[in-house]
Amino acid sequence: MAINDKVKFTWIGHGTWRVRSAAGKEILIDPWVMNNPAAPEHLKKIDRLDLMLITHGHFDHILDAVEIAQATKPKIGCVPEIGWWLESKGVEGASGMAGNKGGTIDYDGIKVTFVHADHSCGIKDGDRVVYGGEPCGFVIEFENGFTVYHAGDTDVFGDMRLIAELHHFDVAFLPIGGWYVMDPERAAKAVELLGVKTVVPMHFGTFPILAGRPDQLQELVGSGVRVLDIKPGDEV
Ligand code: NI
Ligand code: MN
């Protein structure tokens, strides 16, 4: 199921991915790891991390960010508001390489463009809700030129077509679970707007309400598009 021979993605579960880049960098997208009920036990330990990318501030995307960042001291790619919140929790320099929509940041050869996501982004902090800036998706270009679109948590939106026009990627990571994000029917429209030929589904199955399934999306998009049928722990 490899989508590139030099870049390896491991699905920890839900929206969380561990990535080994073409040059051997370790990347974690949306750090919900030790407390992620979908994560296989052997993936609940992160020993080394070069880059942490955070799409937005909901607990199922940042709950383990502070602990992992303090232990592994990665560069952190997020909007400033999330960086400042992480600093308030003791993660030094968390906003130092923050970005925002439309910007491309080169994290040691891995170029990350922050793009729109249609979602919300409050951070639950005890009994308060802290403003977490805007939710994002990422277009990630690895050292070998391989490029993917990771949509984060989102509904389908018309400017997915614009994102595909401005970047060249063949693979999209799309949420399909429904309830908090788009379901397979709306994800099929996203596939059409993006024009991608390979879809890696995510944000499904963690809880019963996240009911969308890869085979439903596969049926909707037809045989011209490959929807990977994955489970937590799989490598693509
Ligand atoms: Ni969310
Ligand atoms: Mn989520």
Tell if the pTM clears 0.85, that is, is over it.
yes
pLDDT recorded at residue 236: 97
Listed residues: CB within 5 A of ion ligand 2? 60, 153
Ligand 1 centroid from CA 37, angstroms = 16
pLDDT recorded at residue 65: 98
User: φ and ψ at 128, to 5 degrees?
Assistant: -110, 160
pLDDT recorded at residue 1: 76
What is the chain's pLDDT, residue by residue, as a tens digit (236 residues)?
A: 799 999 999 999 999 999 999 999 999 999 999 999 999 999 999 999 999 999 999 999 999 999 999 999 999 999 999 999 999 999 999 999 999 999 999 999 999 999 999 999 999 999 999 999 999 999 999 999 999 999 999 999 999 999 999 999 989 999 999 999 999 999 999 999 999 999 999 999 999 999 999 999 999 999 999 999 999 999 99
- For strand 171-175 and strand 147-150, is the pairing parallel, antiparallel, or unpaired? parallel
Tell me which fold the domain 8-227 belongs to: Metallo-beta-lactamase; Chain A (3.60.15)
Ligand 2 centroid from CA 89, angstroms = 21
pLDDT recorded at residue 199: 98
Q: What is the CA radius of gyration of the chain?
A: 16
Q: Which of 211, 214, 208 is nearest to 229 (CA)?
A: 214
Ligand 2 centroid from CA 32, angstroms = 10
Ligand 1 centroid from CA 114, angstroms = 16
CB 136 within 8 A of CB 56: yes
